[in-house]
Amino acid sequence: MQGLIHHSHNSYSLLLRNNIPSTMSSSLALPSTPFFNGPSPINLPRFRVFMSVSTGSHPSVPRASFCDYKPSTSFLFPGQGAQAVGMGKEAQNVPAASVLFKKANDILGFDLLDICINGPKEKLDSTVISQPAIYVTSLAAVELLRAREGGQQIIDSVDVTCGLSLGEYTALAFAGAFSFEDGLKLVKLRGEAMQDAADAAKSAMVSVIGLDSEKVQKLCDAANQEVPEAEKVQIANYLCPGNYAVSGGIKGVEVVEAKAKSFKARMTVRLAVAGAFHTSFMEPAVSRLEAALATTEIRIPRMPVISNVNAEPHEDPDIIKKILARQVTSPVQWETTVKTLLNKGLKKSYELGPGKVIAGIVKRMDKSADIENITA
């Protein structure tokens, strides 16, 4: 497992693939054109949907409509770390999926599909490539689903969507908040800005396995008493019970690793990431994202898109812009997101994109959860 993690550019997510015992338990804490060009993927009888007179086709939803959403079917999109050499291969067999990679090449300036299919792994795992790769491959998976028998009916039935970190951009594109192209431009800049922020200050991430979030917080507090302000750590990813990622200065992370056993952690795993994602170490990336978001057309999503920042849906485009800019410095509330969906009565989920990380998280939280993987 150590070797796998060493070679992955993310991945708290890899821990879910690599035999962490399922018996582990702990307490809960964690445009140019719209993306859709086929039949409208809207089927939200519980929301009042109005057609915009100005465009004739874009549905706008009243602001209050998302407050009391009752999820039935969800699309969930993976984040960085789900990438694997060979992904995107099936997309070549579906024209609507294949064209997404062609559009991506024009925007990115390199052959994304070639790197996805052939690697090398080290290149695909880099932040600046893995983020666009996962975004494009995940939306290609939507087109693969649409092309299969009954696929359009599944897409029409979706009434809530969300994604892990980077996956929030994919979810917003799926929900029509911005075009595929505009979303990819944002994701490209996000990857570059996060890499640059990581290069500017030495920092790290470590997964703490086998503790509830309260104990991990106490572990962070204990570590922070022993290091200077610039080296302090915090919980960056509330992923799922017993798996929380801690980010911060190198010294702070080293103290967390040294103290973990005394806090009864099963293990710690240093993550092969560029730096302390989802903490103040990413602050330099915020202004660049704000500038890009300011010039991006963002519309009211067709359905609730649950934010990583506060595990709530937002309809106001200006709020969505603010949330996306702050997301890189805010802890990922994925555990709360999944817990809320399940508690609200979610019946069926689909994970669209590479890997089965999201399915592993959902099953960890509810063994009876119905979730299906759609890859490309």
Residue 32 CA to chain centroid, in angstroms? 23
Q: What is the pLDDT of residues 360-371, one digit of tens each?
A: 999 999 999 999
Confidence category of residue 272, pLDDT binned at 50, 70, 90: confident
pLDDT at 23 over 90: no
Q: What is the pLDDT of residues 165-214, one digit of tens each?
A: 999 999 999 999 999 999 999 999 999 999 999 999 999 999 999 999 99
Q: What pLDDT does residue 44 have? A: 34
Residue 152 CA to chain centroid, in angstroms? 24
Q: Looking at the domain covering 67-198+280-374, what would its CATH class be?
A: alpha beta
Rounded mean pLDDT, 220-237? 97
What DSSP element (H or E) covers 191? helix 180-200
Among residues 13, 213, 278, 307, which one is catalytic?
278
Q: What pLDDT does residue 42 have? A: 33
**Mean pLDDT score of the chain, rounded to an integer?**
86
**Percent of the chain topping pLDDT 90:** 81
**How is residue 75 annotated by DSSP?**
E
Q: What pLDDT does residue 38 have? A: 37
Taking 3-state DSSP, the helix, strand and coil percentages for the chain, each rounded to the nearest 5, stand at 45, 15, 40
Helix 283-294 to helix 180-200 angle (10° resolution) is 160
- For 350, half-sphere exposure in the C-beta direction (CA atoms, 13 angstrom radius) is 25
Q: What pLDDT does residue 318 have? A: 97
Residue 370 has φ and ψ, to the nearest 5°, of: -95, 105
- The reply to whether 278 belongs to the active site is yes
pLDDT at 7 over 80: no
Among residues 65, 130, 165, 203, which one is catalytic?
165
Q: What pLDDT does residue 22 have? A: 34
How far from 18 is each of 3, 7, 86, 204, CA to CA, in Å?
11, 14, 19, 21
* Tokens describing residue 145: 């689903």
Strands (DSSP E) contained in the chain are: 50-51, 59-60, 73-77, 160-163, 203-209, 233-240, 243-249, 267-270, 305-306, 348-352, 371-374
Q: CA-CA distance, 8 to 6, in Å (whole number)?
A: 6
pLDDT at 27 over 90: no
- The reply to whether 165 belongs to the active site is yes
Rounded mean pLDDT, 24-52? 34
pLDDT at 26 over 50: no
